[in-house]
Amino acid sequence: MLFAVGAASCLDSSGPSTPTPAAGPQAPSNPSIALTSPEVQLPIPLALLGDGQSAAQKVQINIFKVEGGLRGEALKEPFEFGVNAESLYTLSGLEAGPLEISATVTDASGQTLAEGAMRANIVAGLQTLPELILRRQPAPSETEARPVLLDLTLNLTIKGPPAPPEPTEPAVVRAALKASSCLGCHSQRSARGGLVLEKFPYQTQNTALSAGGQVAIVREMAARMSSTDAPMPPTGFPATKPENIKIIEAFAESLTATAEASARPATEASAPLDEKSIAAASLEIKLGAASRIVLPLQKDGLTFRADATPGLIAGQSYHYSLRVYDPQNLVLLDLPDAVFTVPADGKVNLLQDMNASRGG
């Protein structure tokens, strides 16, 4: 009975818009409307799907109104087609006017293989639209967004205070030594006076000099370059240009400064930490603008394990903050904003060097 009612209502508007010979009494009462209502042929070539072409099973076509240049509401139920050899799909029952037509090609499991959309101004009567160009969907990756249980471990490391910067020889110094012909007598082979200036750190009597020794020898180099009674290069060689003397003097000064900085005693703030000076850590994960979860952590030496496994989205990045406390509950490390990305297995291993963000 219901079927009969439905069939009857087709007579009015939603029925097939083109009269077919078999339609007989169901043909619209006003044939002129039927003749001028749009009948659209839409080519959707699948060639660009390449290998995916054989997997393509279904084409779903959605029709939207275009209102003020924007995609408006869906006009009618989507069209569903099996993939056909001609790659041509007939859309009937459309309204004339500007429409957005989007197509989705899926495989047997309903997985989207390609999508595309186009706009067209639909007119009355039969028309063939330009080809709708599809974009291939990237193959689903391992880290596709899906919920996983977070399994978080935090490993703290205690490295010593950062190593003092290694002094290096600026290129201008090398050029000044070359220009002043020092290397002819102070190479590895000749090493006059036991001094080798071939590369930095310099050597005397086949021994690499200590930091202090480097400072002393470079000072002496500068002094000998401007000396009148014992000049370097020795008398008879072209005198060193003043600007090259200045370069060696400046190098002596910078080496002095570096040596003094590394000799400075460690300050209170950079006093070395040990395992016992770290008592607890708290980690807070930001889920959104206002929502966050505090993750309780169990301490095991310098390793902390989360004893809750909240559900997060694999492949997604989350901001978190971390605080590490000493036995007196004083904050040893405060990391206000860092980021981790949840892998497909939910296992997140955070590494944090305790000296990395401590002041001092």
Q: Does 6 bind ligand HEC (CB under 6 A)?
A: no
How do 151-157 and 292-295 pair as beta strands?
Answer: unpaired
Distance, in Å, from the CA atom of 154 to the CA atom of 60, rounded to the nearest integer, reads 48
Min CB(254)–ligand HEC separation in Å: 17
Question: Are 321 and 285 within 8 A, CB to CB?
Answer: no
Task: Convert residues 169-188 into a mask of x (bound to ligand HEC by CB under 6 A) and - (unbound).
Answer: -----------xxx-xxx--
Contact with ligand HEC (CB under 6 A) among 17, 18, 53, 204: 204
> Who's near 287: CB < 8 A, 6+ residues apart?
293, 318
Q: Does 234 bind ligand HEC (CB under 6 A)?
A: yes
List, in sequence order, every beta strand (DSSP E) within 260-310: 280-286, 292-295, 297-300, 303-306
Contact with ligand HEC (CB under 6 A) among 81, 237, 325, 340: 237
Min CB(215)–ligand HEC separation in Å: 13
Structure tokens at 169: 């020889």
Min CB(166)–ligand HEC separation in Å: 22
Q: Which is nearer to ligand HEC, 62 or 204 (CB)?
A: 204
Q: Does 60 bind ligand HEC (CB under 6 A)?
A: no
Distance, in Å, from the CA atom of 49 to the CA atom of 36, rounded to the nearest integer, reads 35
Min CB(286)–ligand HEC separation in Å: 59
Q: Does 93 bind ligand HEC (CB under 6 A)?
A: no
Distances (CA, A) of 172 to 176, 177, 215, 251, 283: 6, 9, 17, 10, 49
Structure tokens at 347: 């296992």
Query: How many residues of this chain bind ligand HEC (CB under 6 A)?
Result: 21
Distance, in Å, from the CA atom of 117 to the CA atom of 101, rounded to the nearest integer, reads 6
Q: Which is nearer to ligand HEC, 217 or 306 (CB)?
A: 217
Of 33-41, 90-98, 146-154, 220-228, which part binds ligand HEC (CB under 6 A)? 220-228
Indicate the Cα dihedral angle 117, 123, 127, 133, nearest 10°.
-10
Q: Which is nearer to ligand HEC, 118 or 216 (CB)?
A: 216
Contact with ligand HEC (CB under 6 A) among 2, 230, 330, 339: 230
Contact with ligand HEC (CB under 6 A) among 106, 224, 297, 314: 224
Q: Which of 131, 102, 119, 133 is nearest to 67 (CA)?
A: 119
Residues near ligand HEC (CB under 6 A) are 180-182, 184-186, 192-195, 204, 220-221, 224-225, 230, 232-234, 237, 240
